[in-house]
Structure 1
Amino acid sequence: MGALRPVRRTLLRDTAYAAIRDAIVRGELPPGDPVRDAGLAERLGLSRAPVREALARLAEEGLVETKPQSYTRVTRLDPRAVREAAVVVRAMHELAARAAVPLLTGGDIAEMREANSRFESATRTGAVGEALQADDELHDVLVRACGNRAVAATIARHTPLIRRLEWRQFAEASALRSAELHVRLIEACAAGDADEVARVTARIWRALEDLADEPDLL
């Protein structure tokens, strides 16, 4: 828990949520670890109320589990939950990608290229957090361009379960294959080929479904 830092006193519930979620995804709060609102509040420099609200949201999203009057703890990695989340996220990204293609601008394409360049560089240096952030930013271009808030909210809700596993299972070789697929995705976007964009998007995210079947998941 030492990596948690005090946060700015704005949007306290959302900021507490993001800080605790990211600590769980990165493994700084490991599976099975007890989490207490008082301790988290002290480390984040917040009152207990926004932390309690954040923990309730994280419980809904499957990152923490609570038994009233007994415990609140980080959930253990569950292959079925990860695969189910990956299936949903893949479907939403396919939908977003197909809808976004006719709306993309030259600036959007340039933003995707730049994000993939950062993704590949971070992968080669083993900077997992930077790689995953760049990956999110690349795909977020399409999510943002499609303009469907329900799609964006669904992706935001379920992606942390997947990213949590990626932090644990990150491998340079598979990530570099993703960088190659990103190039294909970007070129298809630039060509306005929505069918190819949807196919490549599905291939990228289906690989994360398969990651849930790795034998050392738990």
Structure 2
Amino acid sequence: MRDEAYETLRRAIIDGTLAPGANLRDADLADELGLSRAPVRQALTRLAAEGLVESKPQSYTRVAQVVTDDVRDALRLVRGLHELAIRDALPRMGEPQLAAMREANARFAQAIGRGDVDAAIAADDLLHAVPVEACGNRALAATLDRYTPLLRRLEYARFGSLPAHRSVKRHDELIDAIAARDADAAIRITRTIWTELESLLED
């Protein structure tokens, strides 16, 4: 029940259903979700640790504002970790991994084409998870799990716009570089993918 509450609330925060600054009352949320207050409180504590919720004891619990500096810091960390994952994973990646990335990018392109942001983000996650898994660095994977949620609201803005079609091309370029065993190109393309996301902060 705790995980159900967490996933439901996180999705609502990320996609904007729960807007920045919205008050989060555990009793009301428990009623809406059909759960007891305990799992809702645990979910809110977890979301606060991830920076999606802010809370002051005896005062308020609310959806955190999008703090540009915090998101930029998280994005630069995530970008660096994905570059490291590519560097370490590339020697271990073969046709099964490339096929998984191609399939994920095909799903991504289809989702973008029909304007399904949820499906686009899920497919994007699948694509980038392939080298993360292949590199075998559990600390890296855990750190990405910790900080990636801060970027989700930016990704909803990105994948809901026309420039999202550019991401399909970037993914193809990344897959081609990995297939060619060109580590420098793969790392450069990975850096570009995440740097383009950072440009939304300026907007």
TM-score (norm 1): 0.88
Q: Please, which of 157, 163, 185 is the counterpart of residue 174 of structure 1?
A: 163
Aligned residue identity for 1:188:
A
Q: Please, which of 186, 191, 201 is the counterpart of residue 202 of structure 1?
A: 191
Q: What CA deviation, in whole Å up to 9, does each residue of 1:129-170 have, x standing for no partner?
A: 111111111001111111111111111111122111221354
Whether 1:142 and 2:150 are equivalent positions in the alignment is no
Q: Which residue of 1 aligns with 2:42?
A: 53
Cα separation, 1, equivalents of 2:36 and 2:53: 20
Cα separation, 2, equivalents of 1:43 and 1:144: 36
Q: Which residue of 2 aligns with 1:44?
A: 33
Q: Please, which of 12, 22, 29 is the counterpart of residue 23 of structure 1?
A: 12
Task: Find the residue that maps to 1:113 and give its secondary structure.
Answer: helix
Gaps of 5+ in 1: 1-11
Aligned residue identity for 2:109:
E
Q: Please, which of 189, 196, 199 is the counterpart of residue 178 of structure 2?
A: 189
Gaps of 5+ in 2: none
Structure 1 residues 172 and 124: CA distance shift in structure 2, 3 A: farther
Query: How far off its partner does 1:39 sit?
Result: 2.0
Query: How far off its partner does 1:171 sit?
Result: 4.5
Percent of matched pairs sharing the same residue: 55
Cα separation, 1, equivalents of 2:65 and 2:96: 41
Task: Find the residue that maps to 1:65 and give its secondary structure.
Answer: strand
Contact 2:154–2:197 (8 Å) recurs in 1 = no
Cα separation, 2, equivalents of 1:104 and 1:44: 42
Alignment of 1:4-15 (within 5 A): 12-15=1-4
Query: How far off its partner does 1:15 sit?
Result: 3.1
Cα separation, 1, equivalents of 2:40 and 2:147: 20
Whether 1:103 and 2:92 are equivalent positions in the alignment is yes
Q: Which segment drifts farther, 45-54 or 65-74? A: 45-54
* RMSD after superposition: 1.4
Query: How far off its partner does 1:172 sit?
Result: 3.7
Cα separation, 1, equivalents of 2:174 and 2:77: 20
Contact 1:34–1:72 (8 Å) recurs in 2 = yes
Q: Which residue of 2 aligns with 1:66?
A: 55
Query: How far off its partner does 1:48 sit?
Result: 1.8
Cα separation, 2, equivalents of 1:193 and 1:42: 53
Contact 1:77–1:165 (8 Å) recurs in 2 = no
The count of residues paired between Structure 1 and Structure 2 equals: 203
TM-score (norm 2): 0.94
Structure 1 residues 118 and 59: CA distance shift in structure 2, 3 A: same
Q: Which residue of 2 aligns with 1:152?
A: 141
Q: Which segment drifts farther, 39-48 or 178-187? A: 39-48
Task: Find the residue that maps to 2:163 and give its secondary structure.
Answer: helix
Query: How far off its partner does 1:179 sit?
Result: 0.8
Cα separation, 2, equivalents of 1:169 and 1:179: 12
Structure 1 residues 16 and 171: CA distance shift in structure 2, 3 A: closer
Cα separation, 1, equivalents of 2:162 and 2:23: 34
